[in-house]
Structure 1
């Protein structure tokens, strides 16, 4: 992977992370801030998003993307299952 491709993937992941954070934030607001698991997931995604710029390998980016995917699945699951 060229440096350009790596930087492009970082940019795409920044956008994906922002989307996940936005979804978690909106869900948290809908729950009037009463969902500690959602807040914890938000904090984890926030940290992963910051790690994007510190990433030095494709493996790092794969791990971060996996965290974003997990957070998205988590949110879908709690929305489908009701309140946490």
Structure 2
């Protein structure tokens, strides 16, 4: 099922480093053809979450939203369902 979905969108399965940046490396790989832009992807995701706080803050229940954004800004912090 996953392989079929990947083929449908002309994506390929690629192994990435499991250093806490894996979600952002994977997105970078699929969009830019390289994992090396993971920091930029993370920055853009956090920027989106910050700009549209009223849309996203209700999905962060375990900590203050500003703390969540600060934590997600850190290289090596694992992405979650909201950052995806």
Fold conserved between structures, TM > 0.5? no
What interval of TM-score do these two structures reach, taking the shorter chain for normalisation? 0.3 to 0.5
Between 1 and 2, higher relative CO (CA 8 Å, sep ≥ 6) is seen in 1
TM-score, length-scaled by structure 2:
0.38
Give the TM-score normalised by the residue count of structure 1: 0.38
